[in-house]
């Protein structure tokens, strides 16, 4: 006997998938660091990228306000 599995439309699936991506309390963005330190975004980005390459930080992408951004956390 076949189970009755509700069909999910493509639009419902993608909205559900994208809405699950959230920032954790210990994660931060380049903009947050720039604002907190008073540095430019370019300077903050460069520093965070160097720290990530050195293994001090990990990063992942999330969707925020319709744009994919990198968020960082201590490794």
The DSSP element (H or E) to which 61 belongs, if any, is strand 57-64
Please answer whether residues 57 and 75 qualify as being in contact, where contact means their C-beta atoms are separated by less than 8 angstroms: yes
What are the per-10-residue average pLDDT scores of the chain (75 residues)? 64 69 89 96 96 96 83 96
Record the pTM: 0.70
In residues, how long is the chain? 75
Q: What pLDDT was estimated at residue 63?
A: 80
Q: Which domains does the chain have, with CATH numbers?
A: 24-74 (1.10.10.10)
């Amino acid at each position: 006997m076949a189970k009755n599995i509700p069909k999910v439309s493509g639009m419902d699936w993608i909205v559900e998938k994208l809405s699950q991506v959230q920032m954790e309390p210990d994660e931060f963005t380049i903009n947050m660091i720039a604002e907190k330190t008073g540095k430019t975004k370019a300077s903050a980005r460069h520093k965070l990228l160097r720290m990530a390459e050195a293994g001090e930080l990990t990063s992942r992408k999330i969707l925020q306000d319709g744009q994919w951004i990198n968020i960082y956390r201590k490794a």
